Amino acid sequence: MRHLSFLSRWACLLLWLLAGSDLHAQTNTSWTPDNGDGTFKNPLMWGDWPDPDIIRVGDKFYFVSTSMHYVPGCPIAVSNDLVNWKMAGYAVSRYEEDPRYDLRGGNMYLSGSWAATIRHHNGLFYVGFCTPDMDGRKGQFSMCTAKNIEGPWTRTIFPEYLYDPGLFFDDDGKVYVVHGQQKLFITELNSNALSVKTPRREIYDNRAFPYLEGSHMYKGNGKYYILGSTGGTRGRQVCLRSDSIYGPYESKVVIQDDHTYPGNGLHQGGMVQLQNGDWWFIIMQDRGPIGRVPNLEPVTWVDGWPMLGTGGKGVDTFPKPAVGKTYPVSVPATTDEFNNKMLGLQWQWNHNPDNNKWSLTKRPGYLRLYAGKARNLMEARNTLTQRVEGPYSEGTALLDLSGLKQGDIAGLGVFQSPYAYIGVRYNGKKRELVMVNADSTVTVIPCTSSKIWLKAMVREKDFTATFAYSYDGKHFTIIGNQLKMGLGLDWTANRFALFLFNTDLNSPESTGYADFDWFRR
């Protein structure tokens, strides 16, 4: 099926779903925006890369994104041409400030890193982000620094709370953060950008721009520019302009467009200048349970205002940025054969992992997960995740189940709230293949082998996920019913998930384990 067209693959999938029985293996290729003819198409990455900010350092571009509760946090991607990207690393290795990040005494779903800002100054990379106050937790602002984008990174937590920060190094040596929601503030930092120098000052408040947030600051021709998003999911992008960093600011809407996804406007992102002087903007668009998806837009300066897209609309297909060279097609990795000593950069845990309960070396060539106690998948600590993609994506895992013990359940899920999964449960006498959807066990059938292929198939068109299994890796059988993907965890997309947990809460700690040979997309 390697040569099936896009429409043919959809037709085959529909027939499989209607048949509901035997399903042959399908080759799944990650979305790429590079058309191979000097043009690109949007979206830039058809997955959850929200709240983008971007910089150029020399001939490379760096993109940072929100990752909420997932660990490691603040994913950073790198590109030579703004179109072809790969992962570079993360600014946060884990969160140490609250035991709930270890799923002890509660959870930190929706906490973690929000609306990151990235800058480079005097040989250092800076990534700042906020963690809003939720459920009685006080909001925080963090600044991470590193000499190399791959790390190691050092994190400093401020006593002050700076919401949706935009870090800015002025040409007079002063350092600022623009922050806030509708009511915007400027806070001056000390020269190392690791502490506050002067208290915040209000600079803007306009009720015509509700929820004005996601601010990033730039300077050109002696003027200060703040670009932010207003109106939330249905939003638009606004530019503020002033001769002084503290204002007064005049304003202009620089794009208001939802033609590629009606009802959800392009909003919030970052701007960057090429070496030839051209400007480009990466801006996100909410696409439901698939996530907040980045688009790449040209910038045209009109009467001193940076106007995004063309003719007031975001571009669908457009000439690639003029960086002077042509680079190979590249997309962030998805498949992992687990042959290396480190996990691929596409992976994030659902909370801080328990590093005693997973290994890539106990059985070389496999990811081994050890069972921890949990009532359900939301409470299972070492759940390993990566993004789903549109318009269609599937993930397949090969498992060796011979290490399972009483009460263990291992498998492959699509993780959010609600979630669903296909897994194998060991009840002490036999293995059972189960399909669970929204905490309800839909199907239980005998599992006749200690080796099994599990598959999850995700469609962006109707936000559904379907699950299947195989005992030979070639012929897959659909099991259970479809997950209707949702967003019970606000602003957080659905993800593929590998897991193992033990549901016998009153028994001693399980010594069981599951070996994942590979995960392929």
- Is 504 a residue of the active site? no
Given 34, 51, 53, 389, which residue is catalytic?
51
**Model confidence band, residue 63 (pLDDT cutoffs 50, 70, 90):** very high
Peptide bond into 508 cis (omega under 30): no
Query: CA-CA distance, 499 to 437, in Å (whole number)?
Result: 15
Averaged pLDDT for residues 324-331: 96
**Model confidence band, residue 136 (pLDDT cutoffs 50, 70, 90):** low
Averaged pLDDT for residues 198-216: 96
Averaged pLDDT for residues 43-71: 97
**Model confidence band, residue 138 (pLDDT cutoffs 50, 70, 90):** confident
- Report the predicted TM-score, pTM, of the whole model to 2 decimal places: 0.93
Instruction: Name which of 324, 308, 222 is nearest 266 in CA terms.
Output: 308
- Is 213 a residue of the active site? yes
Q: Say how many residues make up the chain.
A: 521
Which fold does the domain 6-27+334-520 belong to in CATH? Jelly Rolls (2.60.120)
**Model confidence band, residue 80 (pLDDT cutoffs 50, 70, 90):** very high
Tell me the CB-side half-sphere exposure of residue 517, using CA atoms within 13 A.
13
Percent of the chain with pLDDT over 70: 94
Pull the structure tokens for residue 505: 């809460």
Torsion of CA 345, 347, 352, 356, to 10 degrees: -90
**CA distance from start to end of the chain:** 14
Q: Contact, 199 vs 216, CB < 8 A?
A: no
Query: CA-CA distance, 449 to 257, in Å (whole number)?
Result: 52
Instruction: Name which of 389, 469, 475 is nearest 434 in CA terms.
Output: 469
Residue 216 corresponds to which amino acid? Answer: H
Q: Contact, 258 vs 314, CB < 8 A?
A: no
Q: How would CATH label the architecture of 39-319? A: 5 Propeller (2.115)
Averaged pLDDT for residues 383-395: 97
Q: What is the pLDDT of residue 134?
A: 72
**Model confidence band, residue 244 (pLDDT cutoffs 50, 70, 90):** very high
Residue 2 has pLDDT above 70, yes or no: no
Q: What is the tens place of the pLDDT at every residue in 446-466? A: 999 999 999 999 999 999 999
Query: Taken in order 102, 106, 109, 113, is the CA torsion positive or negative?
Result: negative
Q: What is the tens place of the pLDDT at every residue in 295-316? A: 999 999 999 999 999 999 999 9
Residue 5 has pLDDT above 50, yes or no: no
Is the backbone of residue 324 left (phi > 0), alpha (psi -120 to 50) or beta?
Answer: left
Averaged pLDDT for residues 17-30: 47
* DSSP string over 209-266: STT-EEEEEEEETTEEEEEEEESGGG-EEEEEEESSTT---EEEEEE---TTSTT---
Given 34, 48, 53, 213, which residue is catalytic?
213
Pull the structure tokens for residue 37: 């003819």
Q: What is the pLDDT of residue 28?
A: 52
Q: What is the pLDDT of residue 86?
A: 97
Residue 7 has pLDDT above 60, yes or no: no
Q: Give the DSSP letter of residue 113.
A: B
Residue 172 corresponds to which amino acid? Answer: D
Q: Where are the domains of the chain?
A: 6-27+334-520, 39-319
Q: What is the pLDDT of residue 9?
A: 38
Q: What is the pLDDT of residue 122?
A: 97
Query: CA-CA distance, 423 to 434, in Å (whole number)?
Result: 5
Averaged pLDDT for residues 349-377: 97
Q: Contact, 470 vs 20, CB < 8 A?
A: no
Residue 119 has pLDDT above 70, yes or no: yes
Question: Phi and psi for 16 in degrees, rounded to 5?
Answer: -60, -45
Q: What is the pLDDT of residue 6?
A: 37
Min mean pLDDT across 29-38, 72-81, 150-159 is at 29-38
Q: Which residue has the higher pLDDT, 16 or 155?
A: 155
Q: What is the pLDDT of residue 428?
A: 82
Residue 3 has pLDDT above 60, yes or no: no
**Model confidence band, residue 167 (pLDDT cutoffs 50, 70, 90):** very high
